[in-house]
Every structure is written in C-alpha cells, then in structure tokens.
Amino acid sequence: MALQSYNPKINQAFGEILAESTLGEIDLKVSQSKHAFETWSVSSGQQRAEFLEALAAELESHRESLVQRADQETALGLPRLNGELDRTCFQLRRFAQIALSGQAFKYFVDPAVAGAPPVGHPALLKLKIPLGPIAVFAASNFPFAFSVLGGDTASALAAGCTVVVKGHPAHPQLTVDIMTLIDTVQRKLGLPGVITLVQGQSFEIGYHLIEHPFIAAGAFTGSTRGGAALQAKANARSRPIPFYGELGSVNPIIALPDGISTHEKEMASTLAGSISLGCGQFCTSPGVVILIDEAKNIQSNDLFVFELTSSLKEQKPHAMLTSGIRSAFNFGVEQFLKFGAHPLVYELSDSIEPRPFLASVSATDFIAHEQLRDEVFGPACLIVRSASIAQTKEVLESIGGSLTVTIWGAEKKSESTVGILRSAMSIAGRVLFKGVPTGVAVSAGQQHGGPWPSSTTPMTTSVGDDAMDRFLRPVALQDYPDWVDQSKGYAI
C-alpha cells in the first residue's frame, strides 16, 4: 500500500508517493536496532546526552523547512508547530541532562548482614537495566512532540534503549525528513541503528512490529481502539512484553457549588477556547463539564451554560488532521444525540473545518449510557447536570479513567471537597484546581497517564522525567564480585 501526504486545509493529496515498509524491511530494521542495543545499552550518560543534544540541535537548524512541512500535512498552524518543535527540543535536552546526571544508572547497595534469615541476608546490589529495542508508535496530533523524536523516543534513549519508530501516516513526508536528519547525526557520532524507522498505513505493519521477538516494549499515543489492538498483540506473544499506551480521555471538569459564581462569563470563555484549541485534537481536551444543580447555584449554572454556548458559537476551529478523524467526529456527535444529549451548539456539516459541538445531558442518562462517555476526538463537549455531590461521584466512577480531572471551587476544605478530590484521584493521573486541562508540562512532577481507558499502565507516565522508568527493569545481584563496580557511572 502506498503512502502520500494529505493537506487537510484543501482536502487534497500532494507530493511523492512513498512505499510502505515490507515485513522483511521491518525485520531488518528491528535486527539493526537489536545489534545497536548491544553497545547503546552500556553507553555512558555523556554519550547519551551528546546524542540527544545533537538531535535537538539538528531539529532547530532545520526549523523553517520542518515546520512548513508539518503545517502542510497537519494544518495545525505555524505558531503552534514552532512551539511544539521548541517543546520537542526541550524534551530531548531535558533527558540529555537526566542521562548526564546518572539517574538511569542509580543503584542501591544492601550490605550483607550476618546471621540466619529473616534478620541475616547476603550482600545485594540492586540496579536497573534497559529493556531492549522499543517500538514507538508516533501520534497524529503532535507531529513533533509525540512523534519520531518525541517524549517516548527521548526517554527510551536516555534509559539506554534503542528505538524502532512506526511513523504515523498522517504526516509521512515529515517523518522521512526527520529520519534523514537523525541518520545524519547517527553517522556523525558513529551510532547506526540506535533509531530506525518503519512506515505504512496497514495495521499489519504495527502488528508485525509489536510481535517481533526482538522488541522488548511498545510505546503508543493514539485512540483507545488502536491501543487496545496493539496491547492485545503484545500480550498474546509467546513472551508478552510491556505496552505503554496513552489512549482516550474525556478529562472531566467539575464545578462545585460557588466554583463559577460571579465568574461565569470569564470561565466560560476560557473553557470555550480550551475545547476548540487545536480543533479539540489534544489528549487533554475537556470533553465533560459537570454542574451540580443545588438550589443556591442553579441560576449561576444556567448563566454559565448560556455564556459557554455563546462563546463556543464564536469559535472557528481549523481543519482536522485527516478525513478519517473528521468522519469520526461527526459519528461521535451523532452518537451523543442518539443517546439523549440535548444539543446547545450543533451544526452538522461535512466541511473541512468542523463546527464546535456542545450538548447537555442529565447525570442519570450519562451514567446509564456508555456511549455518552466515549471520547469524541475534536471540539466537542457534554455538560452533565448532576443533582448532588453524591451523584457527581457516581458520574466520575462511571467514567472509569481519565488523564485529568479539573475541580473548580475547592479552595476551602470540607467534607464535599475532600470527597470529590478522592473520587477524582481514583480515576485520574492529574488533578487540577485551576484553569483548564489542555497543556501538559514536561517536568519532574508530571503524571500523564491514568486508569483505563486513558492509558494501559496507570503506574507510569508518558510525559516528564519519570517517563524513562518505563524502559528500565530492576535486577538484584547477590554476593557480587568486586569487579562489579557501579562507581564508574554507567551500565555494566
């Protein structure tokens, strides 16, 4: 099957036709990755940092052409794409510093204690080793930051793993352009095969990659359906491997009593911008707003809905990433209406740029129909009218898992705020008390991953310093000889 670039702005294909990777070519790339792992896995922090820094510099030196290409294939706009390239280089350099600091080589010495167990025990040295070649599945909505040189690749490299990238078919030429730059750096530093690339639209390509016996783990950002299919393949192997998938999320916002009072217009305007940001194609786009209709705040809630409706009607989202994503948006909206959502902002259209969608539904109906809890990728949001704090907790429980939950109006400690916080923490990886969930900081304290369906492994994060831990495995060495010396600062 052939690959070709597609310009969402004009709904037309353009550029040269690219061939999909064959199964034999995939086997070759994985074998190259396995061979490179033998030396990269025992590289020093200095070597890893040098590679990551060089990759960032190469991206920046070709900024103009890369951003132009990305805009042609995604319609995300030059300001957004320049910012995303900055974030990608920041991630690469941050993991370079982490590698240089020795975090990937941390170890724990547990000296021998004389005597019989349980008090006595032999000498133990606990360390972490890189898993092996990692299959990284690039995302459609972040052509830089979650793609070929995105966070998964950067963190895996810092951990001492090699990477086989499965490029996303939504931006195939950009993927080739970036891989060309990577190969330039790899030749210069004498690191062939540390990063390799496979391309294609066929599901079989992704399945073959994740099933390859040399692949030690998978990292994926995308739809729940796609991630679940790949996870099933990873689990069905004769030797199952970890699969780190960041999937769908509705990112509920809860307005507690007095949470929006006197600020209805301002907060509605901010939320409307968040719903439409990037045409709603963010993993943390707010898809559910829960309003608690107690007697004292029904009037405020109604005013907020009015202001949100007005603000959202004024939003003009740009074209969606692909025609398939555009069709899926229409289908998701139709499902909401089919299962009882009352439309507030709704304009059915097949135009390239979708119109925002806003609808209202009772908490009872939301809990009863799982179709109302599905993520609709795009500028769509449901207002859920809840009767009480207790019913709001039931709404959160029905969602099951989310990357984020935002709580407005929890400034003072009370039985209600503590209870809602506990419910939010039980389903989300990140809980916000101000603002909106769009925007994920790359930092030491970040957690980007929550219970299913937001991710496959809620104990890990795909953003932030701890992302590297996904690609390291602990090993204990008992009664180890003197030559096992970790003071040198890199792997054995």
The correct answer on CATH 3.40.309.10 for the domain covering 253-432 is yes
- For residue 129, the model assigns a pLDDT of 95
Rg over CA atoms, the chain: 24
Give, in order, the Cα–Cα distances in Å from 28 to each of 2, 20, 186, 204, 209.
Answer: 20, 14, 17, 16, 11
In the chain, CATH 3.40.309.10 sits at: 253-432
Query: What are 98's two structure tokens?
Result: 């982490």
CA quadruple 87, 202, 204, 167: dihedral, nearest 10: -20
- For residue 267, the model assigns a pLDDT of 96
pLDDT digits (tens, 9 = 90+) for 366-379: 999 999 999 999 99
- For residue 2, the model assigns a pLDDT of 77
In the chain, CATH 3.40.605.10 sits at: 2-247+455-488
- Residue 426 CB coordination number (10 Å): 15
pLDDT digits (tens, 9 = 90+) for 88-104: 999 999 999 999 999 88
User: Which fold would CATH assign to domain 2-247+455-488?
Assistant: Aldehyde Dehydrogenase; Chain A, domain 1 (3.40.605)
Find out whether 100 and 114 touch, Cβ atoms under 8 Å.
no
Find out whether 353 and 319 touch, Cβ atoms under 8 Å.
yes
Amino acid at 441: A
Find out whether 353 and 341 touch, Cβ atoms under 8 Å.
no
Give, in order, the Cα–Cα distances in Å from 460 to each of 243, 446, 447, 451.
Answer: 11, 10, 8, 10
Query: What are 62's two structure tokens?
Result: 């070709």
Question: Which residues are identified as catalytic?
Answer: 246, 283
Mean pLDDT split into 10-residue runs, the chain, 492 residues: 88 92 98 98 96 98 98 96 98 97 90 94 94 98 97 98 97 98 98 98 96 98 96 98 96 94 95 96 97 92 97 95 93 96 91 94 97 96 97 98 97 95 98 96 96 96 97 94 68 66
- For residue 292, the model assigns a pLDDT of 97
